[in-house]
Amino acid sequence: MIGAGIVGMCTAVTLQQRGWKVTVIDERAPGTGASFGNAGLISIDSCIPISMPGMVKKIPGWLTDREGPLSLRKRYLPTALPWLLQWLRSGSRKQSVLQQARALRALHGNADAIYRSLLGTDAASRLIVTTGQLHVWERNQQADPISGQIQTDNGVAPRLLRAHEVRDLVPGISDRISHGQLYEKNGFASTPLRLVQALLQQFLDNGGQLVRQRVNGISRDDASGDYRIILATRNARASRLVICAGAWANRLLDGLNIHVPLETERGYHVSFDPAALALPLPIMDKTRAVAMTPMADHIRVAGFVEIAGLDVAPNMTREQLLVRHAKTLFPGLDINLKKEFWLGFRPSTPDSLPILDRVPHLPGLFLGFGHGHTGMTGAPKSAEILADLISGTASNIDITPYRLNRF
């Protein structure tokens, strides 16, 4: 298996539980990619795709707003354009969006239970905190009506809060906030890195092998059917290979002539010392598209979508913008207690659904990536689906929406 993020480690442990011997390869320390710096949200009620009907009308405003949630590096536009057009098409038809939402609900709905089966109840309770999540809006701003229909169709019923109820739940929140939605079943990872590390330790304790090397290429031996993985200092071979490499998956698959519509949605976070703010639960500021999460040793403010690929330098102006957004939401935030600034790479498909499939013309090759903004939530069920595919076991959900051939 290639990839030691949350999807890869969930898959590795799941395969071990089914009797498979597993080796995980990654040049980075496990959990230090997108799994490290995300908002840490475990959102079992999350079922709304990113691309929605009518969104095309909002994009010009986002792109011209230097403080908006979306930015695009001009030099990268020719590379990103095919994916962007496919992204817009995926959300243009209401019926398609409703189908995507059902697939997201199936992927996310049992995340907490599957984490418990992977980690054990005690460890899962320490690592995943079920406080609920609060989504808030400023005056005269409402949730998309299609979003409401999606939630109703999928049995998601957030508790609606008026302004004073929001302030009772979260003292110190801005007076600009007029209403909110409380998702009581949702929660967060106390620290995403620790969650991945706990899975890693279980994997190692169960006899798994971790190889910390760069993968420079993959090829298939037609005679034996084995896959040769060209590492930094040696070659490895496997009869079955799972690619859970996130935003780097396309680069690995190029040598096998496999091309999928996967783009990198770069995201940023700023962290604060816990003393900077008393925050009882994660807050999603829907007006500015940022999340604030009270993690074990810091408060994390995460957000933005930047389309610029894997290679260009960070946009350093995003640091102060995240600080400003957080201060607007919580005027009492002590910004002098700011700690770290981070950039990471979300692996995203046009329809917000991951690719979870075998490659039909390359027996023994399996793909598990493309979770976009919801990898922490989608990882455990994705691991089950991949393990079913590898073991030849029927899944207990319809896995057609995650197939490679949908594009």
Q: Is the dihedral of CA 263, 32, 114, 52 positive or negative?
A: negative
pLDDT tens per residue across all 407 residues of the chain: 999 999 999 999 999 999 999 999 999 999 999 999 999 999 999 999 999 998 888 888 888 888 889 999 999 999 999 999 999 999 999 999 999 999 999 999 999 999 999 999 999 999 999 999 999 999 777 667 799 999 999 999 999 999 999 999 999 999 999 999 999 999 999 999 999 999 999 999 999 999 999 999 999 998 999 999 999 999 999 999 999 999 999 999 998 999 999 999 999 999 999 999 999 999 999 999 999 999 999 999 999 999 999 999 999 999 999 999 999 999 999 999 999 999 999 999 999 999 999 999 999 999 999 999 999 999 999 999 999 999 999 999 999 999 999 99
Comparing CA positions, the residue from 262, 286, 271 lying closest to residue 322 is 271
Q: Please state, in angstroms and rounded to a whole number, the distance separating the CA atoms of residues 354 and 177.
A: 34
Q: Is the dihedral of CA 275, 281, 285, 290 positive or negative?
A: positive
Q: Would you state the pLDDT for residue 402?
A: 98
Q: Please state, in angstroms and rounded to a whole number, the distance separating the CA atoms of residues 300 and 291.
A: 8
List, in order, residues 6 or more apart from 320 with CB less than 8 Å away.
none
The secondary structure of 98-133 as a DSSP string is HHHHHHHHHHHTTHHHHHHHHH-HHHHHHHEE---E
| DSSP 8-state class, residue 313 | P
Q: Are 280 and 294 in contact (CB under 8 A)?
A: yes
Q: Please state, in angstroms and rounded to a whole number, the distance separating the CA atoms of residues 281 and 134.
A: 7
Q: What own/partner pairs with CB < 8 Å and gap ≥ 24 does 205-210 have?
A: 206/13, 206/16, 207/16, 207/21, 208/12, 208/16, 208/22, 208/23, 208/24, 209/22, 209/23, 209/24, 210/4, 210/23, 210/24, 210/25, 210/26, 210/30
Q: Would you state the pLDDT for residue 149?
A: 94
Q: Please state, in angstroms and rounded to a whole number, the distance separating the CA atoms of residues 184 and 168.
A: 16
Q: Would you state the pLDDT for residue 56?
A: 84
Q: Please state, in angstroms and rounded to a whole number, the distance separating the CA atoms of residues 43 and 61.
A: 28
Report the phi/psi class of residue 77: left, alpha or beta, with left for phi > 0 and alpha for psi in -120 to 50.
alpha
Q: Would you state the pLDDT for residue 58?
A: 83
Q: Are 162 and 179 in contact (CB under 8 A)?
A: yes
Q: Decide: helix, strand or coil at residue 232.
A: coil
Token pair in block for residue 116: 């418990």
Domains detected in the chain: 6-406 (3.50.50.60)
